[in-house]
Every structure is written in structure tokens, then in C-alpha cells.
Structure 1
Amino acid sequence: MTDSRANKYVVVHILHAPSPDAPAGGEEDASATYAHRASTILQSHQRGHPLVRIGHVGRLSVDDGPLWVVNQGRGGYGNGNGDEQLAASPQEVTTVFLFVLSCSADGSIDRSVRKVARKLPSSSDGSNDGPAARGTESVRKFAVALLGHARCENSAQQMGDTIYTAGRRFEKALLKCALFSPPSPTIAKRLETQAELRSPEDEFDLWVSSICQ
């Protein structure tokens, strides 16, 4: 019996944003570290079913990047990794945007995240009718990982859910965005993890792997 997953491809774009209080020009922010870690994990599925391709790994930007390529109707391909062939092939292609966002102790996020949220086309304003209306069969999904940075368990408890508030608002903006395929635009439940207190092996790695299952 033929495995139906054999003709399925997943193209993943990983976008990260640092904490707003991260030092400029300093060492790599946790969001970037986790983004590259996710890329390594997902590349291990390149010979699996479904096949996984990494389209882009980089900082979230309001002016550039694969998110806006999709908004221009080009499907998120054309990145030089051979995904142009996937776009023209008859196989089922799912494009996934993985957002890895660092959150500060007071719940704030980098201003680039807020700018992107404001720029996203809403499914209700008619600015973008979604992938189906443009005649493409590509499915577009997203997943959000929010990284807290409490230094101890007591701090984490005091912060509570406050630290993730702005990140949750960003996810709500994505849910209302016309770029992703309704009725279920998410490919994985939102992850909220304390990056300083939890090993990525405990939560993050398993969460990333679930994207390709």
C-alpha cells in the first residue's frame, strides 16, 4: 500500500525576533539560537515523509523576507534551494512559517513584531483573499514559539502569563491574517517556554518535531 505522505512536501521558513532589551551587537539572542536549532531538527526530516525543506532562517522584518514574498502571490518559493521545482510539481506542498519570539520580563516584544502585526493583511478587509482564491493549491500554516527569560523559578512564577501577553497578541493577528489557509491556519499549538530554565530538549525540540508529523 502506497504511503500517501510520500508525495507531500513541507517548506519551512523560520523567523525570529530578539527580546526588546537584548543588547545591540552583543552575543546571539536566544530566539536566533532556537531558530537555528529548529532548522537543524527539521533538516533531519529531509529524507522522511513528508519531505522537509528549509526555505529561510532569519530575523523577522517588516520590509523583507519570505512572509512578504507570499503576500505578493509568489508562494514563498524562489529562494534558491530548489523549491521552485516544488512549486511547479504536482505534489502537495505545505508552506510553514515558524515564528520564534523572545519576550522580556514585562511581556514586551521587539518592535519589529508589532510592526509586522500591523502590516499583515486581514482576511476581512479584502486586501488578500487567501491562497485558495488565487488559484494555488499550496497550503500555508504557521506556528509560534514564545521564549521567556526568567532567571529563576520564583521570577517565572511572579511573571506568570504576563510575559507572553504581547506574543499571544501577535498570534491572534496571524489567526486573522489572510496569508494563511483557513479554517485551521496553525500547524502546532503555541509553545510557551522559559528558555533560561527549561532545556530545549525538554519542550522545544519535541514541539518542532511535531510540525512534520
Structure 2
Amino acid sequence: MASNNCENFSPQTISRLHREVGELARASPEGCTFVPSETDNIAEIMCDIEGPVGTPYEGGSFRVKLVLSSDYPSSPPRGFFLTRIYHPNVGPTGDICVNTLKKDWTQAVTMAHIFQVIRCLLIVPFPESSLNDEAGKLFMESYEEFSRRARLMTSVHAAKNKAAAGGCCGGAGSSDGSSALAAAAAGEGSVAAAALPAAEARKIAKAKDGKKKALRRL
């Protein structure tokens, strides 16, 4: 990897970045594919994230970029979706709201872990801390409509044969199975989960505890 912007980082940070990027290239987390930088900018790291099965994002490929500041790893990277997506925790310009990049940040967090957490966010949105207020409100009040919009946005902008595009906003939708999975994962007692058909709700209840425990480990 070339050394663009290396002057902004300490030798220890540069060594860490080379190591982590090398690990991403050799063995990306499940559902993630490392994307080499065309400019070899050491301060920007990208992966393509596969939309998880059973969510409104299934069948899509979403390019995500992490941007490192000069005081990394004391401060967390900033995360952005470059592919348009309809999601409560993704803002109009693609910025991502996730605790791992905010209050839960520690210097021990790796790039691979960050991309893994962002993919989990596609399974478990957190509308309580939304950056897209419309998507967050719709998720809570009418999951079926949220799912439809998220699925539509995925089909238009994130089909696997499409190049990544900038900025996130607008509407899309989801499959019936995906609505069940995402709604249940979003949180206990959510309006979306309560609105699910009884059969789906029973199915989700069995898996919810395991999913939430797994996500706490991220």
C-alpha cells in the first residue's frame, strides 16, 4: 500500500494500518469484501458489504468507507455509505451513526470489527438514534412501508452489478422474511415488531435473544 498522507500519522499508526489493511485484504469479515483504494490513500479504507439475507438489503452490495483523522486511533474513524441506502442510522450524506464509532470507541477496535458492526446494523437498525428521521419514524410506525422503501432503494442503487454511488436518502423496501428479522432485532417492544403477523412474531421471538447476545459481543 502506498504512503499517501503518511505524514499525518505516527510510525506506530502507519504500521498498524498496514497490518490491518493486509488482514482485511487476506480475510475480510463475513459478508464484507475489501476494496483497494484507487489512490492508495492510507486515511481511507473501503469495503463492499453484502446485504444480509432476510433483510430489506438482501441482494444488494453497499460500499462503505472509513475516513481516519490525524489523531487516529485516539479518535475513531468516520464511517460513510457511498452506496445510497434507506436506513435509520445513515444520514443524507451517507454518514453512519453506530456506537462503535462514537461512545464505545477504544483503540483496540480493528477495521475488520468496524465493518462487521456496520453490516450488523443492516440487520438491527436503531431508530432511537436515527440520522434519517423519516426512515426511523417509519421503521417504528409502519415497518411494512419502511421495508418496501428500503427494498426499492436497494434494488435501484445497490444491485451487485451497479457501481457505488454517493450520498444516502430517499425510499426503498424489504422482503417479508427480512421485515421479520430486522423488526425483531431492532429492539424489544418495538412498534414494528408488534405489527408483524403472529406467525412471524413467534419465529422471531425464538431467535431474538440469540441475535441480541451476539450483537453485544461486537
TM-score using structure 1 length: 0.27
Q: Which has the higher contact order (CA 8 A, sep 6+)?
A: 1
TM-score using structure 2 length: 0.26
More strand by share: 1
More helix by share: 2
